[in-house]
Structure 1
Amino acid sequence: WVTRPEGVLLIDAPAHEENPGGATPIPNYSPPPPIEAQLQAAGVPPEAVTHLVITHAHWDHFNGLTRQVEGEDRPIYPNAIHYLGRGDWERIQPELADAQSRQNRTLGAVDRVGLLRLVDGEMEILPGVRIIPAPGESPGHQIVRIEEADGILYHVGDLYHHVLEVARPEWACHWAEAEAHKASRATFLAAALAEDARVLASHIANFGRIRVTESGMAWERV
């Protein structure tokens, strides 16, 4: 999360779902506390969040948007505008039509109380905080550029899943639109290099910077 005098920003709202019998269990893994508990521990109650960017409509990025209260799905961040790429909203329309779907009970619930805002292009949502479309992983995938006192930070969502993809930008997951994903990476790389920006990706541990090496691009942990 990012705090500004004008508001509090949260990027994605996942919730750990323990599945010991799943296909890829992690031995001896203990999940971290829920995000809302981590916020509370830092002195930021969920009610203080004013802006929530959902990088894309894949379940692991938005399954912590709501909770059941008296049989109703209610937003965990009731004072936050939730920003979702329009392309993703349009893609999940069949799921939203099902009252019991995961999408309906989270994104749909947020929309029904007027907290969802669809993003069509670049948008500044707080001073120095800008949403930038980066389709490929999904039609409405978006990243966030944050201006800080010590430089620029990008939260790139699932633009990269592994550091090897920095060196091999043509690699993409089977569900992605490969050419769009590659183009989004190229646009981002040019900006990140020019700004010597720090980078945070949802599935890569720790912050990094993109570096040019003799063999090409590389992720440098910082």
Structure 2
Amino acid sequence: MIHARIKHKSGAEDKRTALIFGPLLYLPANTLWQILRFSCFDNESMPQKGGELLHYEFWPNYSKTEHTSNESYVEPDLLLEFEYFNLLIEIKRKDVQSYRQYEGQWKNEIQAFTNGQTHGENKPLLLIALGGNTSPEAFHTPLGRVYKSSWNSLLNQICLRQEQEKPYTPAYHILHDLESAFGLYHEFRIRKWLGQISPYGITNNTSDTIRTIWKR
């Protein structure tokens, strides 16, 4: 949450961004990238490696808005500058369509970031649209590629990675806390939750009970 306080952000979406991505950035760069990469639905064309995380910024503000539909500034939720590419992340608070992503917003953010690049900077640019997607397919623009993810998919990757980590290491504890943070939004790993349900067989007695209840 420290990043939300530093940038004077108080909205629910911004708080969630800081709560989840703040701890994620403490992970080794390769672990961070693999979690983000495999959380995306259509990820086959994504880089396999990102290299070191050279710089990050929450809510970067781009005032150079030429060729965008914004007149004042453009502000994605997160910028991650990896060794081999740059990554913008546009975040919606929930996965439901009422918090819908917009193609025009992606294009504006990609264009505004490109406007601010100095001559000679030619690393590939990617954008991950997290939450609020209506389809899983990746989206390509002349300046960058957009990949789609969901909060549930991100949570599943965090949990899978935790299972692969050695117990009681710093990364293990960070991933454990992240899973707990998702619980604050009533989001839990489905497979883990289902695995805790005891199997229940349907017998003739069960069928008789159901018919009795149905007649009431």
TM-score, scaled relative to structure 2 = 0.26
Bigger radius of gyration among the two:
2
More helix per residue: 2
TM-score, scaled relative to structure 1 = 0.26
User: Which gives a bigger RCO, structure 1 or 2 (Cα 8 Å, sep 6+)?
Assistant: 2
